[in-house]
């Protein structure tokens, strides 16, 4: 050990190692500091705006006291709920297809490549695509267009998560099912998918958390609405658009509602992530 300490090569590597560790810890500390700053500011200003009126009244006119964001909360629930309803079966079925046939044909390889591209595509680009293909043709904004835009963001997440989880299933389990005479479709759905169902559910929840706070796609598709509405075929209120609009307004009551909406949105995303990572988490199937 004494000779190793005196070795100049060892000392040089040890010095480089310590520099790398110091830079890594410093970068982590800086990131955690700004994250804590943001969360603390959101907690203080958002918590002050919480009240029962927030859930009982719609977004108010400028200068109107006792306003709420009931319409925005309900609109976001409908848009995100429909997006999850669309993206979940499509993403899971596509993930099963990639896991089963991904190495056997070129179409599956192209599908995986397109999925990877969509995972890294800016959300505003997907929003503009839906605007051009749906809103511009229909000549009006709508909640359906917003759900479609969010679905394009959620589907690749579900596909990639399902594909990765299904690949964790050991071959011995699949071979045992085939040895019993089970057809391939039944092995894929009743054996392989069932073995990793918790991981697939986790992927779906993470996808929902991913799209809950998206603003840019909704500005091009669902727009916003000052009133409570159940009509998904018309512009509909939603939390991200409301926050973006109210936060930039000159009215203090609107800014307070924006902080409260941001707090609720962050809390919802946090709960979804905690639920996905703890309640439905599982180890690799054995």
All structural domains of the chain with their residue ranges:
2-48, 55-279
What is the reported pLDDT for 67?
85
What is the reported pLDDT for 284?
46
Q: What is residue 233's DSSP assignment?
A: T
Look at the pTM and tell me if it is higher than 0.95: no
Fold of 55-279: MetI-like fold (1.10.3720)
What is the reported pLDDT for 24?
95
Distance CA 266, CA 276 (A): 15
CA distances from 137 to 66, 132, 145, 274 (A): 39, 7, 11, 40
What is the reported pLDDT for 280?
65
Distance CA 230, CA 16 (A): 61
Phi and psi at residue 96, in whole multiples of 5°? Answer: -65, -45
Whether 75 contacts 237, CB under 8 Å:
yes
Q: What is residue 250's DSSP assignment?
A: S
Q: What is residue 16's DSSP assignment?
A: H
Whether 128 contacts 219, CB under 8 Å:
no
What is the reported pLDDT for 285?
47
CA distances from 283 to 61, 99, 111, 169, 197 (A): 51, 19, 27, 11, 12
Distance CA 190, CA 195 (A): 8
Phi and psi at residue 105, in whole multiples of 5°? Answer: -140, 160
What is the reported pLDDT for 1?
52
Q: For the chain, which residues score pLDDT lower than 70?
A: 1-6, 279-286
Distance CA 59, CA 71 (A): 7
């Amino acid at each position: 050990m004494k000779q190793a300490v005196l070795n100049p090569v060892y000392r040089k590597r040890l010095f480089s190692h310590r520099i790398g560790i110091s830079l890594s810890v410093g970068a982590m500390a800086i990131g955690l500091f700004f994250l804590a700053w943001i969360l603390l500011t959101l907690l203080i200003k958002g918590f002050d705006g919480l009240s029962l009126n927030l859930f009982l009244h719609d977004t108010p006119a400028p200068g109107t006291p006792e306003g709420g964001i009931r319409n925005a909360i309900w609109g976001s629930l409908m848009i995100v709920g429909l997006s999850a309803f669309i993206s979940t079966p499509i993403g899971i079925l596509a993930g099963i297809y990639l896991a089963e046939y991904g190495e056997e044909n070129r179409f599956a390889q192209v599908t995986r490549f397109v999925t990877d591209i969509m995972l890294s595509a800016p959300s505003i680009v997907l929003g503009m695509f839906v605007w051009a293909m749906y809103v511009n043709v229909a000549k009006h904004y709508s909640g359906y267009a917003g759900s479609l835009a969010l679905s394009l963001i959620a589907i690749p997440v579900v596909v990639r998560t399902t594909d990765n989880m299904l690949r964790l299933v050991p071959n011995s389990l699949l071979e045992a099912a085939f040895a019993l005479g089970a057809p391939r479709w039944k092995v894929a759905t009743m054996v392989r998918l069932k073995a990793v169902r918790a991981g697939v559910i986790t992927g779906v929840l993470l996808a929902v958390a991913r799209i809950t706070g998206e603003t840019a796609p909704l500005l091009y598709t669902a727009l916003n609405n000052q009133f409570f509405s159940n009509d998904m075929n018309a512009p509909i209120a939603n939390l991200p658009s409301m926050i973006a609009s109210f936060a930039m307004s000159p009215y203090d009551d609107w800014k307070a509602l924006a902080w409260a909406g941001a707090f609720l949105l962050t809390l919802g995303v946090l709960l979804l992530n905690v639920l996905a990572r703890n309640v439905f988490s599982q180890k690799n199937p054995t």
